[in-house]
């Protein structure tokens, strides 16, 4: 346990990550460790017309992630209606809002 001010934090009894797991991550190509596929790595090389450095790979990994780019869900999300009398706020940077009727609405944030 660790005390910080009045708080006590209980540490796990076993390591959070095992050395073998970290070794496996370290042994694979950097683009895979960052969550990029081989095809995405090839596309990055095409776009840059050279091999990317570590910083550039990290930036592409972030921008092309599910969190920022909806990497896996974009095709599915396009199937939802975006224009209707019940759609109060369509897709964009913020949450979408749908009128449920009776003065109630629900907001969705992906």
Band of the pLDDT at 19, cuts 50, 70, 90? Answer: low
Mean pLDDT value of segment 9-38: 74
Residue 22 is predicted with a pLDDT of 62
pLDDT score of 67 more than 90: no
Residue 104 is predicted with a pLDDT of 94
Give CA–CA dist 83/45, Å, rounded: 38
Residue 16 is predicted with a pLDDT of 61
Q: Are 54 and 29 in contact (CB under 8 A)?
A: no
Residue 11 is predicted with a pLDDT of 65
pLDDT score of 35 more than 90: no
Residue spans per domain, the chain: 2-78, 80-110
Residue 40 is predicted with a pLDDT of 93
Residue 13 is predicted with a pLDDT of 67
């Amino acid at each position: 346990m660790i005390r910080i001010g009045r708080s006590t934090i209980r540490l796990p009894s076993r390591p959070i990550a095992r050395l073998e797991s970290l070794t496996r991550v370290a042994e694979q190509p950097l683009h895979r460790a960052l969550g990029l596929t081989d095809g995405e790595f090839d596309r990055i090389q095409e776009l840059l017309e050279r091999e990317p450095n570590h910083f550039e790979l990290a930036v592409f990994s972030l921008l092309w992630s599910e969190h920022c780019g909806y990497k896996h869900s974009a095709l599915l999300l396009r199937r939802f209606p975006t224009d209707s009398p019940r759609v109060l706020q369509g897709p964009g940077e913020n949450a979408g809002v749908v009128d449920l009727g009776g003065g109630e609405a629900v907001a969705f944030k992906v």
